[in-house]
Amino acid sequence: MKDVTDATFQSEVVERSKQVPVVIDLWAPWCGPCKTLGPTIEKVVNETEGRVELVKVNVDENPAISQAFRVQSIPAVFALKDGKVIDTFVGALPESAVREFVAKLAPVSSPADLLVAIGDEESLLAALELEPNNEGAIAALAEIWVEQSKFDDALGLLKRIPETEATARVASLARLRKANVETANDEELEKRLNILLDSVKSDEAARAEFVDLLRAFPIGDERIAQYRRKLTSRLY
């Protein structure tokens, strides 16, 4: 636990929350409920062993922070992650409620999650023995299998979980490489996309390959948006 001021808030709370969830306890020396809540929240956060951090803000001495959070009564508690408020409560809650609040910020890793963190094929298979639908294990193992040219195995595995941007990219790479489409060379990708543009309106297979090719670019690549616009203009 540390005391934070208006001057140190950006570095010690906002920036720090990009590495670990930070709980902010806004209090004042004259506030009775603050004195009740303070030891409780400090105890509970300490039990996370660093997975959550606690800072305290004296609202009398740091009005800018109070104004930023629009604090109307204290104690007021906010949880920040990645620089954004993700949860909050006001008042001296009982320990059970404080514990529930903090637990949501620092879920305990399951044995399967620990295996996923190791990341090799053997560990990921072991994780799926424990949790057959563990999303992290499935996504990581499918990516390994694509690199091993086990395309059908990877695609079958990915069907177990809802599609995300990351897993959609892995599935697209599996389909493209299974069809011997070059995905490692950006110039070849663009060349193929331009060829397919003439067929996307009338050919469903061409549309599907076009979308798969877009996903072969790195996530966030500006060419994805450019070619999506070209696709839309051809379809409509």
- Tens of pLDDT, residue by residue over 53-92, are 999 999 999 999 988 988 889 999 999 999 999 999 999 9
* CA 85/CA 26 separation, integer angstroms: 14
Choice among 22, 34, 74, 137 that is catalytic: 34
What number of other Cβ atoms are within 10 A of residue 106's Cβ?
Answer: 18
Active-site residue 34, yes or no?
A: yes
Note the pLDDT tens digit of each residue in 137-164: 999 999 999 999 999 999 999 999 999 8
Superfamily covering domain 2-103: Glutaredoxin (3.40.30.10)
Question: Model-level pTM?
Answer: 0.58
Active-site residue 199, yes or no?
A: no
Mark 150-187 as b/e (b = at least 16 C-beta within 10 Å): bbeebbebbeebeeeeebebbbbbbbbbeeebebeeee
Strand ranges in the chain using DSSP code E only, listed in sequence order: 2-3, 22-27, 53-58, 76-81, 84-90
Choice among 31, 93, 173, 231 that is catalytic: 31
| Residue spans of the chain under pLDDT 70 | none
pLDDT of residue 183: 80
CATH 3.40.30.10 domain residues, the chain = 2-103
Q: Which CATH architecture has domain 111-235?
A: Alpha Horseshoe (1.25)
CATH 1.25.40 domain residues, the chain = 111-235
pLDDT of residue 173: 93
